[in-house]
């Protein structure tokens, strides 16, 4: 029996909210213990153990600060410099894009993601001002 798509979406949304509430360190601890538990099980003898490190934690505070700065920036160049100076990883850029409602494809390069964020946030605002004559 298949679940309706809207029900599956709510399940994943609830799961994502729960993971966010746990925090990065707690999620890493849970995943580390889960991998070790499954790799010690005889039925899954071919599961590799991880070294316990999942990846660099996402700096949500910096992402929030940059998104606030982008909302007040008045030029595309300044916005691009702000993003580049933050030295975001790919995952952090994707998180920044999500927080600004900018759709990012997985096949996009980092520079393309930066350009898209700048064009859809600052560029959109500047274009709107130019159309209204509020330059």
Delimit the domains of the chain by residue range: 5-44, 60-132
Provide the pLDDT for residue 36: 52
Secondary-structure percent of the chain, ordered helix, strand, coil, rounded to 5: 70, 0, 30
Strand intervals (E) in 6-100: none
Please check whether residue 38 is in contact with residue 5, taking contact to mean a CB–CB distance below 8 angstroms: no
DSSP code per residue over 26-53: HHHHHHHHHHHHHHHSGGGTTPPPP-S-
DSSP code at position 6: H
pLDDT at position 34, please? 63
pLDDT at residue number 26: 78
Task: Enter the pTM of the model.
Answer: 0.57
Q: What is the mean pLDDT of each run of 10 residues along the chain (135 residues)?
A: 64 78 76 56 45 70 89 91 91 92 92 94 87 79
């Amino acid at each position: 029996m298949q679940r309706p798509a809207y029900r599956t979406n709510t399940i994943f949304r609830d799961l994502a909210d729960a993971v966010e509430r746990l925090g990065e360190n707690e999620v890493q601890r849970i995943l580390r213990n889960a991998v070790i538990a499954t790799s010690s099980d005889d039925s899954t003898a071919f599961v590799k153990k991880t070294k316990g490190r999942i990846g660099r934690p996402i700096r949500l505070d910096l992402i929030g600060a940059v998104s606030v700065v982008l909302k007040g920036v008045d030029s595309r160049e300044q916005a691009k410099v702000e993003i580049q100076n933050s030295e975001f990883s790919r995952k952090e850029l994707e998180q920044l894009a999500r927080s600004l409602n900018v759709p990012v494809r997985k096949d996009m390069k980092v520079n393309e993601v930066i350009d898209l964020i700048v064009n859809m946030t600052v560029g959109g605002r500047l274009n709107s001002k130019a159309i209204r004559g509020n330059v």
